[in-house]
């Protein structure tokens, strides 16, 4: 008798935890590409900068509260992408990109004490390149939706 309930229990568990299944507003390969850029690469670059810039500029490293806060911002971006089909596109884009401005602000504040022109290229790449990549992804992502596609001027964010 116990074995006859197993399919029912498995079905109930799958329905109970169905909210954990991804609800993507893009193809799986587009989501994977997005997460490789914003989830992995930006996280690695952020970790590198948060450890390297203090040694370059002889400033104190980031405090635990800042690391925890920026880590939660990064993690919230990963979460909204997981359920991106259930949320408004503008909200998804804002939450996904909210990780970069505090990181850039921290790096700019640390680098302002000892300005080295070769280090400023990192700021421009992370700031300008990040917004440019997001604009390209945004246009490719919402191109199939009813939202209007937007032009990507350098430094512009793809939000209305």
69 pLDDT band, cuts 50/70/90, is: very high
- Residue 83 above 60 pLDDT? yes
Confidence at residue 68, expressed as pLDDT on a 0 to 100 scale: 94
Place of tokens 């604009």: 135
Q: Specify if 14 maps to a domain.
A: no
When divided into structural domains, the chain yields a total of: 1
Distances (CA, A) of 48 to 10, 20, 53, 54, 137: 44, 31, 8, 10, 24
Q: Specify if 87 maps to a domain.
A: yes
Domain that holds residue 117: 28-140
- Residue 130 above 90 pLDDT? no
State the average pLDDT for the chain.
Answer: 74
More confident call, 27 vs 142: 27
Cα Dmax for the chain:
75
Q: Specify if 151 maps to a domain.
A: no
More confident call, 9 vs 125: 125
Residues in the chain: 160
């Amino acid at each position: 008798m116990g074995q006859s309930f197993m399919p029912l229990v498995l079905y109930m568990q799958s329905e109970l935890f169905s909210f954990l299944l991804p609800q993507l507003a893009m193809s799986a390969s587009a989501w994977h590409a997005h997460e490789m850029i914003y989830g992995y690469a930006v996280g690695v670059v952020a970790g590198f900068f948060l450890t390297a810039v203090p040694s370059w500029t002889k400033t104190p490293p980031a405090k635990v509260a800042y690391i925890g806060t920026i880590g939660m911002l990064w993690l919230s971006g990963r979460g909204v992408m997981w359920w991106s089909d259930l949320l408004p596109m503008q909200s998804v884009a804002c939450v996904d990109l909210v990780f970069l401005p505090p990181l850039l602000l921290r790096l700019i504040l640390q680098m302002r004490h000892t300005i080295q022109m070769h280090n400023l290229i990192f700021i421009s790449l992370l700031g300008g390149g990040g917004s440019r990549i997001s604009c390209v992804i945004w246009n490719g992502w919402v191109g199939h939706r009813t939202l209007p596609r937007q032009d990507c001027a350098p430094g512009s964010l793809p939000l209305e």
